[in-house]
Amino acid sequence: MQTTWLLLLVISFSVGKTYGFSDLENFIRVIDSLNPNQTVVNYLNGSVFWKQPKSILQKLFNYEGYNINRKIRQSDGTFLSLSREFVVYRQPNTSEILLVLMNPISYNANEVFNVANDPVNAHIGSASPAMPVTPHLPEFLVYNTDIVLEYPNPLQPNNYANYSAGPVYDSVELFGFFSNSTLINASKTDSVPMTGTWMRKSQYLPWMVLGTTPVSLFYTTLAWKCYDGLQCVADDIMQIISDYMQIIKQNFPKYQYAPSTKRRGRLSKRL
């Protein structure tokens, strides 16, 4: 396997305060919107690979879905991020939504559980550093945000031996948000175009039922802001959301809008 190394030149860079926007406000404009009444859809599409010690990466499935969110300014100038997200796993060759995975590690058939995270909350108190993607093209910026997750696993091995990868949940998520500084500085809009990347390394998923088998998952995706809202979401994803919400006896419209108030949830985090 050929490995390519990308050397990033880290340069502190301020987008500027044209039209009175602070660095934090510009960061919010890039990742979402300053308008608390606007829900923003960020779409993602990519691949998930699996790896065991001393083995190479092997593709497991495709990964596609969206996060729908809003940002609410707080009295101290920080922002509360409220969102939900729904993501499906697809068969890597046909792109069909997976209902059953023929597990290449255990050689068993596993029922696939889609990602349906609600809520996904965050408190954003400062802007991520903005850097030119390359010194030769300073108008193209990237904001990097890294999140390390390490906490007691809700699925403790002594209670959930088949579903737990260990006593500690351990993963890292790497975000990159790309935008154009000229557009940021020249516009007064609450939101500006963004493309991005989301990468993650984690333990295996509980529904893979691998017990003490040492397996890591690697996620790599492209993300972008949808200006047509849910119109950019694949039809089969919208259908499975509808089916899912009926199964658990909740309302389908829930996943059409970001939350408007904060409530506690397992997936709250602080940036």
Q: Classify residue 26: in a domain, yes or no.
A: no
- Band the pLDDT of 242: cuts 50, 70, 90: confident
Q: Classify residue 28: in a domain, yes or no.
A: no
Does an H or E element contain 255, and which? none
Q: What's the predicted TM-score (pTM) here?
A: 0.86
Please choose, from the candidates 174, 175, 199, 193, the residue with its C-alpha nearest in 3D space to the C-alpha of residue 46.
Answer: 199
Q: Mind spelling out the 3-state secondary structure of 60-107?
A: EEEEEEEEEEEEEECCCCCEEEEEEEEEEEECCCCCCECCEEECCCCC
Q: Classify residue 7: in a domain, yes or no.
A: no
Q: Which residues contact 137 (CB under 8 A, 6 or more apart)?
A: none
Please choose, from the candidates 11, 9, 10, 13, the residue with its C-alpha nearest in 3D space to the C-alpha of residue 185.
Answer: 13
The pLDDT of 200-206, averaged and rounded, is 98
Tell me what pLDDT residue 12 has: 36
Q: Classify residue 8: in a domain, yes or no.
A: no
pLDDT, one tens digit per residue, over 60-94 is: 999 999 999 999 999 999 999 999 999 999 999 99
Q: Classify residue 270: in a domain, yes or no.
A: no
pLDDT, one tens digit per residue, over 92-106 is: 999 999 999 999 999
Q: Classify residue 265: in a domain, yes or no.
A: no
Structural domain containing residue 71: 35-254
Q: What is the mean pLDDT of the chain?
A: 88
Q: Classify residue 198: in a domain, yes or no.
A: yes
Tell me what pLDDT residue 258 has: 83
Token pair, residue 203, equals: 């333990």
The pLDDT of 137-157, averaged and rounded, is 93
Number of domains in the chain: 1
Tell me what pLDDT residue 135 has: 80
The pLDDT of 212-237, averaged and rounded, is 94
Tell me what pLDDT residue 249 has: 52
Q: Classify residue 42: in a domain, yes or no.
A: yes
Q: What is the CA radius of gyration of the chain?
A: 20
pLDDT, one tens digit per residue, over 14-64 is: 455 557 899 999 999 999 999 999 999 999 999 999 999 999 999 999 999
pLDDT, one tens digit per residue, over 123-133 is: 999 988 888 88
